[in-house]
Amino acid sequence: GGFGVDFSLATDDFKSGIDLVSKKILSHGVTSFCPTLVTSPPSVYHQVLPQISIRNGGAHGAGILGAHLEGPFISKEKKGAHPEHCLRTFEAGAFQDLLATYGSLDCVRIVTLAPEMKRSSEVIRELTKQGICVSLGHSVANLSQAEEAVQHGATFITHLFNAMLPFHHRDPGIVGLLTSDKIPAGQRVFYGMISDGIHTNPAALRIAHRAHPKGLVLVTDAIAGMGLAPGRHTLGQQVVEIDGLNTYIAGTKTLSGSVATMDTCVRHFQEATGCSIETALEAASLHPAQLLGIEHQKGTLNYDSDADFLMLNDGLYVQATYIAGEEVWRQDALGM
């Protein structure tokens, strides 16, 4: 979410909330995005998902590529800011359990799950068959479990280093996928990173980038409090506190999403890694498009692609945003 709108809250005017976020993120250089729901009760998915429609961007706001469902099929040990009472496992029906929980997969583009869960392989296979990207995250999986998930079709890692086992030299866990030799030929594993200077130390960002530069996808992990003053806000079923760029579950030191905007993440990534401007921009454009299999439309300026592009100054601050060749936002003379 962002700007006071929480995508994991079922409200009657959900559509106006998603419209507001779509409009506001144009100024941060976002031309299309995946609204994300954190772990929620089935009733929330059943109410919210039918209200998300995949659509093109324009002057009304950024395009919607489909929803990212982060949970509830994740690990209790690595739940992070996800409410424990809403977590679920796959029972005998596996994929049917998932369908019953979400209600519909019509608008779903990415599902984050923990691959160590029993019966996850069949779920990964079925989701992949339906063209949905499976991401590994909020998990205590070891490397062989993660490799098996990739062999069944998983292609993404949800916010690398956060909410997973730390790298260990004898079993590097999910992080080991970045240099694994068990990835099927022709398949690339992508990984999201929250490059906000809080979630990941710049040294960890550099290690990941140097190990697997072509797989890095910048993600904001932004919550409803993005764009608002510090204080108390919601994240799905829970209350979070914002203090500067830090966001915690109220009364704890558990990080709960981010309030960094995408343009901030690009600038921080470029500064932290010393990479070229092209590399920094591709992590927020080309790589996510490749992950979703839409690189013929998005993420490049090739002939016949969608002509979504930005005007940036030398400091990588957004001056104007264009969608399908049309100017949809411009910085005015006052710098607003």
Sheet containing 231-235: which strands, arranged edge to edge? 231-235, 238-243, 246-249
Summarize the annotated binding site for substrate as residue ranges. Answer: 81, 162-163, 170, 199, 255-257
d(CA 75, CA 79): 6
CB count, 10 Å around CB of 276? 10
**DSSP element (H, E) containing 145:** helix 143-151
Q: Please pick, among 6, 221, 306, 308, the residue that the annotation labels catalytic.
A: 221
Calpha distance 26→249 (Å, rounded):
28
Q: Is 314 a catalytic residue?
A: no
**How far, in Å, CA of 35 to CA of 331, rounded?**
25
Strand partners, 72: none
Q: Residue 36: how many CB atoms within 10 A of its CB? A: 22
Farthest-apart Cα atoms in the chain, separation: 61
Which segments are annotated as binding site?
70, 81, 138, 159, 162-163, 170, 199, 255-257
- Residues 263, 269: Cα–Cα separation, whole Å: 10
Instruction: Enumerate the known binding-site residues for Zn(2+).
Output: 70, 138, 159
Which sequence positions are flagged as catalytic?
221
